[in-house]
A and B are shown apart, each in its own frame.
Chain A
C-alpha cells in the first residue's frame, strides 16, 4: 500500500467530475455525460498540476470557467462546482441558481462547509425559488495542491510571517493553526490513513500537532467516518508517521543557494505550480510544463546542474543517432537495398513511420530542457551562483569562513538578495558571533544598497535564542556520529552510507531527524519528541513500543514554507536501503528570495532596519 498522493487526489477529482458516481469500467456510461465545470482560483490551482485540459474532456467536461467570470446560461446540462466554502462563492452560486444559468447544480466544496454557510445557501436559493436546481452538496477534503507524487503544498502564503509576528494575538495564531490543521486533515483524508504524529516540543509544530490530534480524535468518534475503509486491520500494522516541523527548526535551508537542477529552476526561474515562464531568444516569453509527464525531468531533476547539462547533451546525441538510423534504413541513398531484400525495406519504412511521433516527442523534451538550461546558465554566469552555493555549503560544514573570502563575495557579483542570503547564512552558520566582523558585514551590505531588515532580524533572533544555530555545528558533529554508527552496522550499509556522504556532502538536519524518527531506535536527539496517536485512547500515555516504529512510510510537514532542497533530500533518503516512502509537504513552497523577503517583513515589524529600502530589494 504505497501512499501515492498524486494518484489518490486525481482519483478524487475524477470521481467528482463524474458527479460522485462510481466510475464504471467502460468510462462514463452515466446518463449525465456532458457537464460544465466551474471553479474558483484556489481550486484551479488544485486542478492544474493534476489534470490536463485535454483529460477534462475525457471525463465529459465541455466547458470550464472561473466562478467570477461573467457566464451565459447553458441549458440541458449539469454544472459541477468545485470551490472553497466561502461567503463570496456561496453568494455567487445563489445568483447563478436564481438566474437559471444551468439545469442542475452539483456543489463540491474543497473543505467541509460550515453550517452557517449552508444556511445562507438554503435561504438564498429558497428566496429566489431556485432550490430545486441544487441537486447535490458534497464535501471533498481536497484543500491542498499536489505538485508531484510526493510533494504537496497548502498554498497558505506568508505563514512564517504570521506565526512569528511579534504583534500577532492568540486568536490570529489559532486561526492559522486551524487553517493548517484543516489542510493536513484533507491530506490525511485523501490518503485515508491515521498516522502517528511526532513533533519537537514547543512552538507552532506542537500546536498544530495537538490540534490535529484533537480533530482526528473527534472525527474518529463519529461512526461513518472518512477513515473506516482505508484504516482496516491492515492499517494497524503499517501506519505512517507524520513528522511536523517548524521552519525555525532549520532556517538555513530556506535561504541557502543550491546547485541541483530542480531547486535551481525553482529558485532562479520561479517554478510555480509545475509551470515555468522563460524569456525566449527573441524576447517573447515561453512557457514550459515540468511534471511527471516529462521523463527527463523525472529522471534528472535531482542532479547537479553540470551533470544535467551533460545529460541533455547525451540525450541529444542519442536522438541524432536514432534519427540517422531511421534515415539510413529508409532513405533512398543506398539503392542497393531495393534489389535484394525489399521485404525488410518495407518493414523498415513502417517502423520508421511508427517511430516518428515518438522521436518528435523526444526532440521536444530535449528542446525544452536545452532552453531552460541556457537561460539558467546565463543567470548562473551573471550572478556566479556556483560560487555562492559552494561557499555557503563550505560555511555550513566548517562553521566558519575566512574573513577576506566573506567580504570578497559580498563585494562581488550577484544580486542584492544573493548577497543578503549569503550574509544570513554566515550569521546562522558561525557558532559565536564576532561583533566586529558582523559589523563589517553589515557595512558591506549597506555599501551595496541592500536592505538589511532580514539580516537584523536573524541577528536578533540568534542573540535571543542561540539554539537556533543547531543546524550547523551540530551537523558537523553529527555527520561523524552518523558515519560511526554506519560503520558499526553491516558492510553493505557502510558502503551505502559512504556513497551517500560523498554524493550529498552533508545531510540536512531535517532529513537526519526524519530518518531517526522512522528507524525508531533510541536516540537522544529525538527522544524528547512528542508522540501523539489519534487512534489510541486518550488516557494511555502513548509510550507503547509500536508507536516508535520502525516505519516504512512518513509524511513530513514543514510549517512556514518549504522548498525543493528539502524535498530532494528527503527523496534521496527514500531511495536508500531500506526503501522507504516519504511524502513532503509545506504551507507553501518558497524560493530563497521569497523567504528572505518574509524575514525582512518580520524585521520591519520588529522595527529593525530601514523600511524604505524594501521596495528596492524586491528584485
Chain B
C-alpha cells in the first residue's frame, strides 16, 4: 500500500502558534481547537438526505441480490415459483429506486426553473454550480442503479439458458420412458395371446384386445400431445428469453428514440423559427424593393424636373437679351415717373431670373452728386417663372407694384 502523510496534526500545531501570535485569548483558542476535534454536525439539505436514502436502498437491493444470487441461479436449491418471487421482488425494488431518482430529478428541474425566474434573488440558494452538483448526484445514482440492474440481467440470462438447456434433454428422456411401457404392454399381450383358450375366452380376449388397442391408441395420442406440449413449452421459454433480450434492447433504443424525438422537436421548432425569419426577410425585401422603385421613380422625375428648370433658366436668360434695351428704356421711364431727378441716369447692366425674383442690375451714369457708379438691384417677388414674357414684365413695371422702397435710403 502506497503512502501518504497526514499533516492535520502539524496544521493544528501551526494554528495554535499563529493564534497565540495573533493574540487570541485562552477561551477563543480553546474554541478553535475544539472545532477541530468535534466537527459540527452539519444539517443536511432535504436533497442530500433523499439522495443518501436512495443510495442506501440501492445498496440494500444489491445486498438482497447478492444474498439470493445462489438461490436464484442454482436450479437444485429453489423451485421456479420461488425464483419468480425473487424476480418479482427485485423488479419492484428497482422500480421504487427509479421512482426516487425521478423525484430527485424533478426537484432539480423545478429548482432550475425557479432560479431562472428569480434572477439574482435566490442566487445563494441554488446557483449553477449547485445545480450541476445535484445533477451529478442523480447521475451517479442512476449509473449505480443501472449497474445493479445489469447484474440482475446477467442472472436472468443465466436462468433462461439453464431453462432452455434443461428442456431439451427432458424431452428426449420422456420419450424413452413413454415408449418403454408400450413395448412392455405389447409383450405381455403377446404372452397372453399365446395361451390357448376356449371360445368364451376367445371373445373375452377379443374384447380385451379391443380395449388394449384403444388404450394403446389413447396412449399414443397422449404421448404425442405431451410431446407437443413440451415442444410448445420450449418454444415459449425461448420466446420469453428472446423477448427479455429484446426488451432490454428496445428499452435502450426507446431512450435513444426519445432523445431523437426531442431533438427532432427542437429541430422543427428551429425550422419554424427559421421560416418566420425568412418570411420576415422576404417582407422586408419586398417593401424595400417598392421603396427603391419609388425612390428611383422620384429621382427620375426630379432629374427630369431639374433638366426642365435648367432649360427654363437658359431660355429665360436668352430671352432677357432680347428685351435688354426695352427694359432699360422702361426702367428709365418708371424712374422718371417716380423720381424725375434720376431720369437720365439709368443703364441696365445685367438682368437675372431666379424662381421667385427678377434681378435687375443697373448703373447710374452722369451722377450729379456722386461720381461713384453703384451697382444696384431690384427684387421682384412672386414672379415664378412666367416672367420671361416681355409683356408681363412691362405690365409688372407699369402697374405700380414695382416701387423701389430703398430709393430714399440710398439717395437722400
Q: Which residues of A are in contact with B by a Cβ distance under 8 Å?
A: 8-9, 11-12, 15-16, 20, 26, 29, 33-34, 36, 57-58, 60-63, 71-77, 103-104, 108, 112-113, 115, 118-119, 121-123, 126-127, 131-132, 134-141, 189-192, 226-227, 229-230, 342-343, 346, 349-350, 353
Contact = CB atoms under 8 A, between A and B. Distances in A.
Interface stretch (B83-91, B106-114, B136-144, B340-348): B136-144
Given A118-B11, A118-B14, A76 B5 contact: no
Given A126-B15, A138-B7, A11 B45 contact: no
A361 to B, nearest CB: 16
Interface string B119-142: 000001001111011111101100
A538 B354 CA distance: 119
B22 interface: yes
B73 interface: no
8 contacts: A8-B2, A29-B59, A62-B133, A62-B139, A123-B22, A126-B22, A342-B238, A349-B242
Shortest 7 CB-CB distances between A and B: which pairs?
A62-B136, A72-B129, A132-B35, A226-B3, A72-B127, A139-B5, A122-B18
A301 B220 CA distance: 68
B276 to A, nearest CB: 31
Q: Give the residue among B17, B129, B238, B249 with the most A Cβ atoms within 10 A.
A: B129
A15 B4 contact: yes
Contact of A75 (B4, B10, B45): B45
Nearest to A225: B3
A288 to B, nearest CB: 25
A108 B59 CA distance: 29
Nearest to B7: A137
B137 A34 contact: yes
B40 interface: yes
Given A73-B127, A139-B5, A346-B238, 4 more contacts: A72-B130, A77-B133, A190-B2, A191-B2
B140 A131 contact: no
A226 B4 CA distance: 7
A76 B4 contact: no
Contacts of A121: 11, 14
B235 to A, nearest CB: 8
Contacts of A132: 32, 35-36, 39-40
B374 interface: no
A192 B234 CA distance: 59
B6 A33 contact: no
B1 interface: yes
A75 B130 contact: yes
A470 B380 CA distance: 114
B194 interface: no
Contacts of B39: 104, 132, 135
A358 B331 CA distance: 115
Nearest to A71: B129
Contact of B130 (A12, A26, A74, A226): A74
B19 interface: yes
Contacts of A115: 10, 14
Contacts of A57: 136, 139-140, 143
Contacts of A61: 136
A136 B8 contact: yes
Contact of A122 (B15, B59, B128): B15
B242 A346 contact: yes
Interface in B155-173: 164, 168
B2 A131 contact: no
A76 B45 contact: yes
A33 B11 contact: no
B136 A34 contact: yes
A11 B10 CA distance: 25
Contacts of A141: 3-5
Nearest to B66: A26
A20 B6 contact: yes
A60 B130 contact: no
A29 B10 CA distance: 29
Interface of B: 1-8, 10-11, 14-15, 17-19, 22, 24, 32, 35-36, 39-40, 42, 44-45, 47-48, 51-52, 55, 59, 124, 127-130, 132-137, 139-140, 143, 164, 168, 234-235, 238, 241-242, 245, 249
B136 A119 contact: no
Contact of A72 (B11, B128, B143): B128
B10 A12 contact: no
Q: Give the residue among B2, B5, B134, B143 with the most A Cβ atoms within 10 A.
A: B2
Contact of A20 (B4, B36, B134): B4
A293 B10 CA distance: 40
Given A8-B2, A122-B15, A189-B2, A139 B51 contact: no
Nearest to B35: A132
B7 A189 contact: no
A221 B213 CA distance: 101
Contacts of A63: 129, 132-133, 136
A136 B133 contact: no
A119 B18 contact: yes
Contacts of B14: 115, 118-119, 121-122
A151 B245 CA distance: 43
Contacts of A343: 164, 168, 234, 238
Given A62-B136, A118-B10, A141-B5, A131 B32 contact: yes
A189 B129 CA distance: 36
A191 B2 CA distance: 6
B242 A139 contact: no
Nearest to A135: B39
Contacts of B139: 57, 62
Contacts of B135: 62
A126 B19 contact: yes
Nearest to B16: A122
Contacts of B5: 112, 138-139, 141, 226
A12 B15 contact: no
Contact of B42 (A12, A76, A131, A140): A76
Contacts of A29: 59
A1 to B, nearest CB: 12
Contacts of B15: 122, 126, 131
B245 A353 contact: yes
A74 B7 contact: no
Contacts of B128: 72
A16 B44 CA distance: 23
Nearest to A26: B59
Given A123-B18, A126-B22, A138 B4 contact: yes
Q: Give the residue among B14, B17, B132, B235 with the most A Cβ atoms within 10 A.
A: B14
A138 B401 CA distance: 111
A400 to B, nearest CB: 50
A62 B137 contact: yes
A38 to B, nearest CB: 11
Contacts of B242: 346, 349-350
A350 B8 contact: no
A11 B3 contact: no
A234 to B, nearest CB: 14
A134 B4 contact: no
B372 to A, nearest CB: 81
Nearest to A227: B3
A118 B403 CA distance: 106
Contacts of A230: 1-3
Given A113-B7, A141-B4, A350-B245, A76 B48 contact: yes
B18 A33 contact: no
Q: Give the residue among B15, B24, B55 with the most A Cβ atoms within 10 A.
A: B15
A76 B136 CA distance: 14
B306 to A, nearest CB: 57
Contact of B2 (A11, A34, A104, A137): A11
Given A121-B11, A122-B11, A140 B4 contact: yes
B167 to A, nearest CB: 9
Contacts of A76: 42, 44-45, 47-48
A12 B4 contact: yes
B104 to A, nearest CB: 12
